[in-house]
Structure 1
Amino acid sequence: MVGIPIADLIVSRETYERLKHYEALVRKWSVKINLVSKSTLGNIWERHIVDSLQVCELAEHPTNWVDIGSGGGFPGVVAAIVAAERAPDCKVTLVESDHRKCVFLRTAIRECGVNAVVLSERIEEIPSLGAEVLSARALADLTSLLGFAERHLHSDGVALFSKGIQWKKEVDNARSHWQFDLESTKSWTEPEAVILKIKGVTRV
Protein backbone atom coordinates (compact mmCIF):
# COMPACT_ATOMS: atom_id res chain seq x y z
CA MET A 1 0.00 0.00 0.00
CA VAL A 2 1.39 3.38 -1.00
CA GLY A 3 1.50 5.90 1.82
CA ILE A 4 0.51 9.55 1.69
CA PRO A 5 3.20 12.20 2.30
CA ILE A 6 2.61 14.84 4.97
CA ALA A 7 5.55 17.19 5.55
CA ASP A 8 8.50 14.86 6.25
CA LEU A 9 6.28 11.88 7.01
CA ILE A 10 4.52 9.10 5.15
CA VAL A 11 1.22 8.00 6.65
CA SER A 12 -1.28 5.36 5.63
CA ARG A 13 -4.47 6.29 3.81
CA GLU A 14 -6.50 5.31 6.89
CA THR A 15 -4.49 7.65 9.11
CA TYR A 16 -4.73 10.42 6.51
CA GLU A 17 -8.50 10.04 6.26
CA ARG A 18 -8.84 10.15 10.04
CA LEU A 19 -6.75 13.33 10.16
CA LYS A 20 -8.85 14.95 7.42
CA HIS A 21 -12.06 14.03 9.23
CA TYR A 22 -10.67 15.49 12.43
CA GLU A 23 -9.73 18.68 10.57
CA ALA A 24 -13.32 18.96 9.29
CA LEU A 25 -14.66 18.49 12.82
CA VAL A 26 -12.43 21.28 14.15
CA ARG A 27 -13.67 23.63 11.42
CA LYS A 28 -17.30 22.74 12.09
CA TRP A 29 -17.15 23.10 15.87
CA SER A 30 -14.99 26.23 15.80
CA VAL A 31 -18.03 28.18 14.62
CA LYS A 32 -19.42 27.91 18.17
CA ILE A 33 -16.40 26.99 20.32
CA ASN A 34 -12.99 28.65 20.21
CA LEU A 35 -10.92 25.52 19.50
CA VAL A 36 -8.10 27.30 17.65
CA SER A 37 -7.23 30.96 17.21
CA LYS A 38 -9.22 32.70 14.48
CA SER A 39 -5.99 33.70 12.74
CA THR A 40 -5.12 30.03 12.14
CA LEU A 41 -8.61 28.69 11.43
CA GLY A 42 -8.01 28.87 7.69
CA ASN A 43 -4.78 26.89 8.01
CA ILE A 44 -5.62 24.17 10.49
CA TRP A 45 -3.79 21.48 8.54
CA GLU A 46 -0.33 23.06 8.63
CA ARG A 47 -0.47 25.16 11.79
CA HIS A 48 -2.07 22.53 14.01
CA ILE A 49 -2.19 19.03 12.49
CA VAL A 50 1.27 18.97 10.90
CA ASP A 51 2.72 20.61 14.01
CA SER A 52 1.10 17.90 16.14
CA LEU A 53 2.44 15.16 13.87
CA GLN A 54 5.95 16.46 14.50
CA VAL A 55 5.35 16.13 18.23
CA CYS A 56 4.28 12.52 17.65
CA GLU A 57 7.51 11.84 15.77
CA LEU A 58 9.50 12.91 18.83
CA ALA A 59 7.69 10.52 21.16
CA GLU A 60 9.38 7.25 22.06
CA HIS A 61 6.74 4.56 21.43
CA PRO A 62 4.73 5.23 24.59
CA THR A 63 1.94 3.09 26.01
CA ASN A 64 0.68 5.95 28.21
CA TRP A 65 0.44 9.39 26.59
CA VAL A 66 -1.11 12.28 28.53
CA ASP A 67 -2.01 15.56 26.83
CA ILE A 68 -2.75 18.38 29.28
CA GLY A 69 -4.87 21.43 28.51
CA SER A 70 -5.99 19.62 25.36
CA GLY A 71 -8.33 22.35 24.09
CA GLY A 72 -9.13 21.43 20.51
CA GLY A 73 -7.09 18.23 20.74
CA PHE A 74 -3.66 19.31 19.54
CA PRO A 75 -1.57 17.25 19.81
CA GLY A 76 -3.63 14.76 21.87
CA VAL A 77 -6.22 13.68 19.30
CA VAL A 78 -3.57 13.59 16.57
CA ALA A 79 -1.44 11.38 18.85
CA ALA A 80 -4.39 9.02 19.28
CA ILE A 81 -4.93 8.92 15.51
CA VAL A 82 -1.27 8.10 14.86
CA ALA A 83 -1.22 5.51 17.66
CA ALA A 84 -4.28 3.72 16.23
CA GLU A 85 -1.98 2.12 13.64
CA ARG A 86 1.53 2.54 15.00
CA ALA A 87 0.92 1.68 18.66
CA PRO A 88 -2.58 0.26 19.17
CA ASP A 89 -1.83 -0.54 22.83
CA CYS A 90 -1.10 3.12 23.60
CA LYS A 91 -3.56 4.75 25.97
CA VAL A 92 -4.04 8.46 25.28
CA THR A 93 -5.55 10.64 28.01
CA LEU A 94 -6.73 14.17 27.27
CA VAL A 95 -7.06 16.53 30.25
CA GLU A 96 -9.28 19.56 29.68
CA SER A 97 -11.29 21.58 32.22
CA ASP A 98 -13.60 23.32 29.69
CA HIS A 99 -16.72 21.14 29.49
CA ARG A 100 -17.71 22.30 26.00
CA LYS A 101 -14.29 21.39 24.67
CA CYS A 102 -14.56 18.03 26.38
CA VAL A 103 -17.76 17.35 24.47
CA PHE A 104 -15.92 18.16 21.25
CA LEU A 105 -12.95 15.95 22.18
CA ARG A 106 -15.17 12.98 22.96
CA THR A 107 -17.01 13.50 19.67
CA ALA A 108 -13.73 13.62 17.75
CA ILE A 109 -12.44 10.47 19.45
CA ARG A 110 -15.65 8.59 18.69
CA GLU A 111 -15.97 9.72 15.08
CA CYS A 112 -12.29 9.10 14.30
CA GLY A 113 -12.50 5.66 15.90
CA VAL A 114 -9.44 5.98 18.12
CA ASN A 115 -8.46 4.90 21.65
CA ALA A 116 -8.46 7.87 24.03
CA VAL A 117 -10.22 9.10 27.14
CA VAL A 118 -11.08 12.62 28.24
CA LEU A 119 -10.75 13.85 31.82
CA SER A 120 -12.87 16.94 32.40
CA GLU A 121 -10.84 18.15 35.36
CA ARG A 122 -8.19 20.67 36.33
CA ILE A 123 -4.64 19.40 35.81
CA GLU A 124 -3.45 20.32 39.28
CA GLU A 125 -6.36 18.57 41.00
CA ILE A 126 -6.13 15.07 39.54
CA PRO A 127 -3.90 12.27 40.90
CA SER A 128 -0.61 11.56 39.16
CA LEU A 129 -1.15 10.01 35.75
CA GLY A 130 2.33 8.49 35.38
CA ALA A 131 2.70 9.56 31.76
CA GLU A 132 5.43 8.12 29.57
CA VAL A 133 4.81 11.09 27.28
CA LEU A 134 3.35 14.33 28.59
CA SER A 135 2.41 16.91 25.95
CA ALA A 136 1.09 20.46 26.06
CA ARG A 137 0.62 23.18 23.49
CA ALA A 138 -0.23 26.85 24.14
CA LEU A 139 -1.12 26.07 27.75
CA ALA A 140 1.28 27.89 30.08
CA ASP A 141 4.84 29.13 30.51
CA LEU A 142 7.56 26.50 30.83
CA THR A 143 8.01 27.02 34.60
CA SER A 144 4.34 26.15 35.16
CA LEU A 145 4.46 23.25 32.69
CA LEU A 146 7.36 21.69 34.57
CA GLY A 147 5.26 21.81 37.73
CA PHE A 148 2.65 19.73 35.90
CA ALA A 149 5.41 17.45 34.62
CA GLU A 150 6.69 16.85 38.16
CA ARG A 151 3.18 15.73 39.13
CA HIS A 152 2.14 13.69 36.09
CA LEU A 153 5.29 12.48 34.31
CA HIS A 154 6.75 9.04 35.01
CA SER A 155 10.33 9.14 36.29
CA ASP A 156 11.53 7.74 32.96
CA GLY A 157 9.05 9.74 30.88
CA VAL A 158 9.52 12.58 28.43
CA ALA A 159 7.69 15.90 28.18
CA LEU A 160 7.04 17.41 24.75
CA PHE A 161 6.11 21.07 24.86
CA SER A 162 5.56 23.27 21.78
CA LYS A 163 6.95 26.77 22.27
CA GLY A 164 7.17 29.99 20.24
CA ILE A 165 9.68 32.76 19.69
CA GLN A 166 10.27 33.40 23.42
CA TRP A 167 11.25 29.81 24.18
CA LYS A 168 14.87 30.56 25.19
CA LYS A 169 13.71 33.14 27.71
CA GLU A 170 11.22 30.65 29.13
CA VAL A 171 13.96 28.03 29.47
CA ASP A 172 16.22 30.50 31.30
CA ASN A 173 13.42 31.46 33.68
CA ALA A 174 12.51 27.82 34.30
CA ARG A 175 16.08 26.90 35.25
CA SER A 176 15.74 29.17 38.29
CA HIS A 177 13.20 26.70 39.67
CA TRP A 178 13.85 23.37 37.94
CA GLN A 179 16.62 21.07 36.81
CA PHE A 180 15.95 19.19 33.57
CA ASP A 181 17.55 17.71 30.48
CA LEU A 182 16.53 19.53 27.32
CA GLU A 183 16.61 19.02 23.57
CA SER A 184 15.03 21.55 21.21
CA THR A 185 13.79 20.69 17.72
CA LYS A 186 12.95 23.39 15.20
CA SER A 187 9.30 23.46 14.20
CA TRP A 188 8.32 22.28 10.73
CA THR A 189 5.63 24.94 10.53
CA GLU A 190 6.92 28.05 12.33
CA PRO A 191 10.49 29.28 11.69
CA GLU A 192 11.06 30.63 15.20
CA ALA A 193 9.13 27.98 17.11
CA VAL A 194 10.45 24.76 18.64
CA ILE A 195 9.36 21.58 20.33
CA LEU A 196 11.09 21.09 23.66
CA LYS A 197 11.87 17.50 24.65
CA ILE A 198 12.43 17.38 28.40
CA LYS A 199 13.48 14.62 30.78
CA GLY A 200 14.63 14.34 34.38
CA VAL A 201 12.54 17.11 35.90
CA THR A 202 13.45 17.90 39.51
CA ARG A 203 13.14 21.00 41.69
CA VAL A 204 16.19 23.16 42.24
Structure 2
Amino acid sequence: MTVTRDLPGLDLPPATLERLGAFEALARRWTGKINLVAPSTVPDLWTRHIADSAQLWPLAPSAAATWADLGSGGGFPGLVIAILSGDTGPKLTLIESDGRKCAFLRTAARELGLSVTILDQRVESAPSQAAQIVSARALAPLVTLLPLVARHLAPGGTALLPKGRDWAAEIDAAHAGGWTFDAEPIPSTTDPTARVLRLQNIAHG
Protein backbone atom coordinates (compact mmCIF):
# COMPACT_ATOMS: atom_id res chain seq x y z
CA MET A 1 0.00 0.00 0.00
CA THR A 2 1.41 3.40 -0.99
CA VAL A 3 0.02 6.48 0.69
CA THR A 4 0.47 9.65 -1.35
CA ARG A 5 -1.05 12.04 1.19
CA ASP A 6 1.42 14.33 2.88
CA LEU A 7 1.54 16.05 6.25
CA PRO A 8 2.36 19.78 6.38
CA GLY A 9 5.77 20.47 7.87
CA LEU A 10 6.81 16.82 8.02
CA ASP A 11 9.11 14.94 5.64
CA LEU A 12 8.31 11.32 6.37
CA PRO A 13 9.73 8.07 4.98
CA PRO A 14 7.35 5.91 2.93
CA ALA A 15 7.14 3.26 5.66
CA THR A 16 5.79 5.81 8.16
CA LEU A 17 3.21 7.08 5.68
CA GLU A 18 2.15 3.52 4.97
CA ARG A 19 1.68 2.87 8.67
CA LEU A 20 -0.39 6.04 8.99
CA GLY A 21 -2.47 4.86 6.05
CA ALA A 22 -3.03 1.52 7.76
CA PHE A 23 -4.09 3.32 10.92
CA GLU A 24 -6.50 5.48 8.91
CA ALA A 25 -8.07 2.36 7.42
CA LEU A 26 -8.47 0.79 10.87
CA ALA A 27 -10.04 3.96 12.24
CA ARG A 28 -12.50 4.11 9.36
CA ARG A 29 -13.57 0.50 9.90
CA TRP A 30 -14.05 0.88 13.65
CA THR A 31 -15.78 4.25 13.44
CA GLY A 32 -18.71 2.56 11.75
CA LYS A 33 -19.18 0.51 14.92
CA ILE A 34 -18.29 2.73 17.87
CA ASN A 35 -17.98 6.34 16.64
CA LEU A 36 -14.28 6.87 17.27
CA VAL A 37 -14.70 10.31 15.70
CA ALA A 38 -17.70 12.42 14.76
CA PRO A 39 -19.37 10.82 11.71
CA SER A 40 -19.37 14.16 9.89
CA THR A 41 -15.54 14.21 9.96
CA VAL A 42 -15.00 10.70 8.59
CA PRO A 43 -14.83 11.73 4.90
CA ASP A 44 -11.93 14.07 5.77
CA LEU A 45 -10.37 11.85 8.44
CA TRP A 46 -6.82 12.30 7.15
CA THR A 47 -6.80 16.10 7.52
CA ARG A 48 -9.25 16.53 10.39
CA HIS A 49 -7.70 13.91 12.64
CA ILE A 50 -4.40 12.46 11.40
CA ALA A 51 -2.78 15.66 10.09
CA ASP A 52 -4.28 17.66 12.95
CA SER A 53 -2.65 15.23 15.41
CA ALA A 54 0.65 14.95 13.53
CA GLN A 55 1.33 18.68 13.82
CA LEU A 56 2.09 18.18 17.53
CA TRP A 57 5.14 16.03 16.84
CA PRO A 58 7.55 18.75 15.59
CA LEU A 59 6.42 21.01 18.46
CA ALA A 60 7.50 18.55 21.14
CA PRO A 61 10.79 18.98 23.03
CA SER A 62 13.21 16.58 21.34
CA ALA A 63 14.77 15.37 24.59
CA ALA A 64 11.49 14.37 26.24
CA ALA A 65 11.43 10.73 27.35
CA THR A 66 7.78 10.43 28.44
CA TRP A 67 4.49 11.56 26.90
CA ALA A 68 0.98 11.20 28.31
CA ASP A 69 -2.04 11.64 26.04
CA LEU A 70 -5.23 12.42 27.95
CA GLY A 71 -8.60 11.27 26.67
CA SER A 72 -7.01 9.47 23.73
CA GLY A 73 -10.31 8.44 22.11
CA GLY A 74 -9.54 6.95 18.72
CA GLY A 75 -5.79 7.49 19.08
CA PHE A 76 -5.71 11.15 18.10
CA PRO A 77 -3.06 12.26 18.78
CA GLY A 78 -1.61 9.38 20.84
CA LEU A 79 -1.30 6.64 18.23
CA VAL A 80 -0.38 9.14 15.50
CA ILE A 81 2.51 10.33 17.68
CA ALA A 82 3.52 6.71 18.32
CA ILE A 83 3.70 6.09 14.57
CA LEU A 84 5.68 9.26 13.90
CA SER A 85 8.13 8.74 16.75
CA GLY A 86 8.92 5.12 15.90
CA ASP A 87 11.17 3.14 18.21
CA THR A 88 13.29 6.09 19.31
CA GLY A 89 10.61 8.46 20.57
CA PRO A 90 9.27 9.05 24.07
CA LYS A 91 7.49 6.39 26.09
CA LEU A 92 3.82 6.97 25.35
CA THR A 93 0.92 6.44 27.75
CA LEU A 94 -2.63 6.79 26.43
CA ILE A 95 -5.41 7.35 28.99
CA GLU A 96 -8.98 6.66 27.89
CA SER A 97 -12.04 5.82 30.00
CA ASP A 98 -14.26 4.37 27.23
CA GLY A 99 -13.70 0.61 27.20
CA ARG A 100 -14.70 0.23 23.56
CA LYS A 101 -12.23 2.89 22.47
CA CYS A 102 -9.54 1.22 24.59
CA ALA A 103 -10.27 -2.01 22.72
CA PHE A 104 -9.63 -0.15 19.47
CA LEU A 105 -6.44 1.42 20.82
CA ARG A 106 -5.10 -1.99 21.86
CA THR A 107 -6.07 -3.58 18.54
CA ALA A 108 -4.48 -0.77 16.52
CA ALA A 109 -1.31 -0.81 18.61
CA ARG A 110 -0.99 -4.57 18.19
CA GLU A 111 -1.70 -4.59 14.44
CA LEU A 112 0.62 -1.66 13.77
CA GLY A 113 3.41 -2.88 16.04
CA LEU A 114 3.33 0.17 18.31
CA SER A 115 4.82 0.14 21.80
CA VAL A 116 2.41 2.16 23.96
CA THR A 117 0.82 1.83 27.38
CA ILE A 118 -2.98 2.10 27.41
CA LEU A 119 -4.79 2.91 30.67
CA ASP A 120 -8.53 2.17 30.71
CA GLN A 121 -9.24 4.80 33.36
CA ARG A 122 -10.62 8.27 33.84
CA VAL A 123 -7.95 10.94 33.45
CA GLU A 124 -8.68 12.42 36.87
CA SER A 125 -8.30 9.08 38.68
CA ALA A 126 -5.45 7.48 36.70
CA PRO A 127 -2.06 7.37 38.43
CA SER A 128 -0.14 10.60 37.96
CA GLN A 129 2.19 10.10 35.00
CA ALA A 130 4.72 12.89 35.72
CA ALA A 131 5.24 13.00 31.95
CA GLN A 132 7.55 15.48 30.27
CA ILE A 133 4.91 16.08 27.58
CA VAL A 134 1.15 16.01 28.07
CA SER A 135 -1.29 16.30 25.17
CA ALA A 136 -5.08 16.46 25.06
CA ARG A 137 -7.19 16.99 21.97
CA ALA A 138 -10.88 17.92 21.99
CA LEU A 139 -11.20 16.87 25.63
CA ALA A 140 -12.40 19.95 27.54
CA PRO A 141 -12.19 23.76 27.69
CA LEU A 142 -8.81 24.97 28.91
CA VAL A 143 -10.00 26.03 32.37
CA THR A 144 -11.38 22.51 32.92
CA LEU A 145 -8.46 20.81 31.22
CA LEU A 146 -5.63 22.45 33.15
CA PRO A 147 -6.19 20.58 36.45
CA LEU A 148 -5.98 17.30 34.51
CA VAL A 149 -2.87 18.40 32.64
CA ALA A 150 -1.20 19.59 35.84
CA ARG A 151 -1.97 16.23 37.48
CA HIS A 152 -0.01 14.32 34.83
CA LEU A 153 2.73 16.81 33.86
CA ALA A 154 6.24 16.64 35.31
CA PRO A 155 7.82 19.82 36.74
CA GLY A 156 9.34 21.72 33.83
CA GLY A 157 7.22 19.76 31.35
CA THR A 158 5.37 20.96 28.26
CA ALA A 159 1.66 20.69 27.43
CA LEU A 160 0.57 20.58 23.78
CA LEU A 161 -3.13 21.37 23.50
CA PRO A 162 -4.85 21.87 20.12
CA LYS A 163 -7.63 24.44 20.40
CA GLY A 164 -10.22 25.81 17.97
CA ARG A 165 -11.26 29.32 17.05
CA ASP A 166 -12.07 30.27 20.67
CA TRP A 167 -8.52 29.61 21.90
CA ALA A 168 -7.92 33.19 23.07
CA ALA A 169 -11.16 33.24 25.07
CA GLU A 170 -10.17 29.92 26.65
CA ILE A 171 -6.85 31.42 27.77
CA ASP A 172 -8.68 34.40 29.28
CA ALA A 173 -11.11 32.10 31.12
CA ALA A 174 -8.23 30.03 32.48
CA HIS A 175 -6.49 33.15 33.79
CA ALA A 176 -9.77 34.30 35.36
CA GLY A 177 -9.98 30.89 37.02
CA GLY A 178 -6.68 31.46 38.80
CA TRP A 179 -4.35 29.61 36.42
CA THR A 180 -0.98 30.98 35.39
CA PHE A 181 1.22 29.63 32.61
CA ASP A 182 3.56 30.59 29.81
CA ALA A 183 1.58 30.20 26.59
CA GLU A 184 2.81 30.06 23.02
CA PRO A 185 -0.16 29.94 20.60
CA ILE A 186 1.15 28.25 17.45
CA PRO A 187 -0.93 28.52 14.24
CA SER A 188 -2.55 25.23 13.27
CA THR A 189 -1.47 23.64 9.99
CA THR A 190 -5.00 22.33 9.37
CA ASP A 191 -7.26 25.24 10.40
CA PRO A 192 -6.30 28.92 10.06
CA THR A 193 -8.56 29.87 12.99
CA ALA A 194 -7.10 27.27 15.37
CA ARG A 195 -3.95 27.18 17.48
CA VAL A 196 -1.83 24.61 19.26
CA LEU A 197 -1.21 25.98 22.73
CA ARG A 198 2.26 25.10 23.94
CA LEU A 199 2.13 25.69 27.69
CA GLN A 200 4.83 25.61 30.36
CA ASN A 201 5.12 26.62 34.01
CA ILE A 202 1.48 25.77 34.71
CA ALA A 203 0.34 26.73 38.22
CA HIS A 204 -2.85 27.59 40.09
CA GLY A 205 -3.44 30.21 42.72
Q: TM-score, normalised by structure 1?
A: 0.94
Alpha-carbon deviations, 1:76-111, whole Å to 9, x = none? 0011111115xx252110000000000000111111
Letter in 2 for 1:83: S
Letter in 2 for 1:97: S
Alpha-carbon deviations, 1:140-186, whole Å to 9, x = none? 01011110122110011100011101111110000122010000111
Aligned to 1:51: 52
- 1:138 is displaced (CA, Å) by 0.5
Map 1:30-179 onto structure 2 (within 5 A).
30-61=31-62, 62-85=64-87, 88=88, 90-176=90-176, 177-179=178-180
- 1:6 is displaced (CA, Å) by 2.4
- Provide the secondary structure at the position in 2 that maps to 1:30: helix
CA 71–19 in structure 1, closer or farther in 2 if over 3 Å, else same: same
- 1:5 is displaced (CA, Å) by 4.5
- Provide the secondary structure at the position in 1 that maps to 2:80: helix
| Percent of residue pairs bearing the same amino acid type | 46
Letter in 2 for 1:96: E
What are structure 2's unaligned runs of at least 5 residues?
Answer: none
Letter in 1 for 2:79: V
Cα-Cα RMSD: 1.4
Instruction: Give the Cα–Cα distance (whole angstroms) in 1 for the partners of residues 193 and 6 of structure 2.
Output: 24
Q: TM-score, normalised by structure 2?
A: 0.94
Aligned to 1:23: 24
Aligned to 1:6: 7
Instruction: Give the Cα–Cα distance (whole angstroms) in 1 for the partners of residues 89 and 200 of structure 2.
Output: 23
- Provide the secondary structure at the position in 1 that maps to 2:34: coil
- 1:8 is displaced (CA, Å) by 2.1
| Matched residues, number | 200
